[in-house]
Amino acid sequence: MRVLVACEFSGIVRDAFAARGHDAWSCDLLPSDRPGKNHLIGDVRWWLKPVQGRARDPFNMPWDLMIAFPPCTYTCSSGLHWNTRRPERAALTEAALAFDRELLDAPIPRIALENPIGCISPRIRKPDQIVQPWMFGHPESKATCLWLKNLPLLVPTEVLPLPASGRWSNQTASGQNRLGPSVDRWKLRSATYAGIAKAMAEQWG
């Protein structure tokens, strides 16, 4: 299949599909963390559908599957409380939701959109599924919503038991994420877990 992984700079999901023989491409405003691979730099909407009159090159072919990871800065639950205090931020939430709708409505037969719990559910539709890293072999917690089009639910591949401490390895005693402030914190938290990427490639590919 021709697979487009939208808004991904890590290359983790792209490479999971490529490892199974698919023609997989990632696309993001940032360069790929794994150079030398199939990566498109720019606004993904430019590549969502073939453009009449453009050469029939690898960037202008129909896609069979898109997995999208749109930015969640202005749609996730943890930041929505700022919208009532800062009207300009509320406008950014509306723009983010419009982008999410464009991705879900793209002319691609199979689509998965991933985001944390937030306002996509009440404003667009409820997710088809919520998955956790610990369902796919990672001893960590990160509730991840999936909105699916013509795709089956992901089947957990390796469900891990909760540690005796009562919290996952990425959690503090209070249940917060233990990853401390840093320049790369947003980047580290946005990367897809390899176990989930592998399950997507095996089950959707």
Per-residue pLDDT of the chain (205 residues; tens, 9 = 90+): 999 999 999 999 999 999 999 999 999 999 999 876 799 999 999 888 766 555 545 556 689 999 999 998 767 877 666 667 777 777 888 889 999 999 999 999 999 999 999 888 898 999 999 999 999 999 999 999 999 999 999 999 999 999 999 999 987 665 556 555 555 544 556 689 999 999 999 999 9
Q: Cα-flanking dihedrals φ and ψ of residue 28, to 5°?
A: -160, 165
Helix, strand and coil content of the chain, in percent to the nearest 5, comes to 30, 20, 50
Domains along the sequence of the chain with CATH: 2-204 (3.40.50.150)
Structure tokens at 37: 């691979």
Provide the 3-class DSSP secondary structure of residue 135. helix
Q: Could you tell me which of 77, 162, 91 has the C-alpha nearest to residue 127?
A: 77
Q: Is the pTM of this model over 0.85?
A: yes
Please name every residue paired with 146 in a beta bridge, in sequence order, or none if there are none.
114, 129
Please name every residue paired with 65 in a beta bridge, in sequence order, or none if there are none.
3, 110
Q: Are strands 110-115 and 144-149 parallel, antiparallel or unpaired?
A: antiparallel
Please write the tens of the pLDDT for every residue from 137-168: 999 999 999 999 999 999 999 999 999 999 99
Please write the tens of the pLDDT for every residue from 176-195: 565 555 555 445 566 899 99
- What stretch of H or E contains 6? strand 2-6
Q: Cα-flanking dihedrals φ and ψ of residue 134, to 5°?
A: -70, -10
How far apart are the C-alpha atoms of 72 and 114, rounded to whole Å? 9
